[in-house]
Amino acid sequence: MGGDRSKALLALSVIWIAIAAAYMGWGAFENRGLYRWLVELQVAQFGGYYPRWTGILPALLLALPAIGYLRLYSDAQAAAAPQGPAAEAQRGARVAKITATIGVLAGIVGVAAYVLAQSVPDGSEAAVPVAIAELGQGAVPSTKVSVRGTVDDDASGGVSESGGFADESNFYVGCRPESGGGKGDPVRLFIARRVGGSVDAATTQAFMPEQTGYLVENGLPALVLQDLQSRGVAVATPHYVLQPGDRTRRDPYYVAAGLGGAVFVICLLVALIGGLQARARARAVG
Look at residue 213 in the predicted model and tell me its pLDDT. 85
pLDDT at 200: 44
Residues 6+ apart with CB under 8 A from 255: 29
E strand or H helix that includes residue 266: helix 251-285
DSSP helix/strand/coil, 154 = strand
Backbone conformation region of residue 122, classed left if phi is above 0, alpha if psi is from -120 to 50, else beta: alpha
> What is the structure's pLDDT at 163?
43
At residue 197, the pLDDT reads 46
Contact between 179 and 131 (Cβ < 8 Å): no
How high is the pLDDT of residue 36?
Answer: 81
Q: What is the pLDDT along the chain (286 residues), one digit of tens a residue?
A: 456 777 788 888 888 888 888 888 878 777 778 888 887 787 777 766 777 788 889 988 998 998 888 888 777 776 776 776 777 777 778 788 888 888 888 889 889 989 988 887 776 778 888 888 888 887 788 788 888 888 888 888 876 544 444 445 678 888 888 876 677 789 999 988 876 544 444 444 456 678 888 888 888 887 788 888 888 899 988 899 988 866 567 777 888 888 889 989 998 998 898 888 888 877 877 6
Which residues of the chain form beta strands (DSSP E)? 128-129, 145-148, 150-159, 170-176, 187-194, 210-217, 235-243
Return the pLDDT at 169: 66
How many angstroms separate the CA atoms of 273 and 40, rounded?
46
